[in-house]
Chain A
Amino acid sequence: DAKTTQPTSMDCAEGRAANLPCNHSTISGNEYVYWYRQIHSQGPQYIIHGLKNNETNEMASLIITEDRKSSTLILPHATLRDTAVYYCIVKQETSGSRLTFGEGTQLTVNP
């Protein structure tokens, strides 16, 4: 699986959009971009994933650049409960393939 690079930490004001970047310059054609988050002392939570088109669900939007070498997770209206470590993971979308967690980005939403 391709390696990802994320900033160590980010801050965001409550109610504003949080934009979390991820670089994955070695991504291959059959690899998807997945985002998970982990609130302190809890198990990770799936957020969203995509291949090359932008994706949106009830939690977030995923913007993938045309060359697929980077992506941005957008939380449109961040709340205090969105404070967590966000992990960007690249992997093939095949059933059973494991997730390799990097260091992620610690997002702190401030009141």
Chain B
Amino acid sequence: GAVVSQHPSWVICKSGTSVKIECRSLDFQATTMFWYRQFPKQSLMLMATSNEGSKATYEQGVEKDKFLINHASLTLSTLTVTSAHPEDSSFYICSALPRDPFFEQYFGPGTRLTVT
């Protein structure tokens, strides 16, 4: 089956610093990747959609200058949280849509970010 990995699985950073999260599709090419955020006891909220080779599309209310997304290849997308604050602490999950004619998104295991 299709596998999506995320790195790191958890990270602790100090307020004001930046942290990068990687999302990789391991055995398929993904023209589209999605980034979600999930706060405790809440559902997943879509942050942005990234397409390989083009700028990401951000959902309303998500600051594009704070959450930098780069989809440099068909197997890698990165999310950089810049100038992190404690309120950015959350579970960040990516998903990838295979390039082949499948229609199910495959999700990564998530990255737990804690900003102190």
Interface residues of A (CB under 8 A from B): 34, 38, 41-46, 49, 87, 93-96, 98-104
Contact B106 A46 (CB under 8 A): yes
Of the listed residues B4, B36, B105, B112, the one surrounded by the most CB atoms of chain A closer than 10 A to its CB is B105
The answer to whether A100 touches B46, judged by C-beta atoms less than 8 angstroms apart, is: yes
**Is B108 touching A43 in the complex (CB atoms < 8 A)?**
yes
Chain B, interface size category, equals 20 to 34
C-beta contact mask, B85-101 vs A, less than 8 Å → 1, else 0? 00000010101010001
Q: How many A-B residue pairs lie within 8 Å, measured between CB atoms? A: 52
Would you give the shortest CB distance from B115 to chain A, in whole angstroms? 18
With contacts A41-B110, A98-B49 taken as known, whether A46 is within 8 angstroms of B104 at the C-beta atoms is yes
Binding site for A on B (CB under 8 A): 4, 6, 31-32, 34, 36, 43-46, 49, 91, 93, 95, 97, 101, 103-110, 112
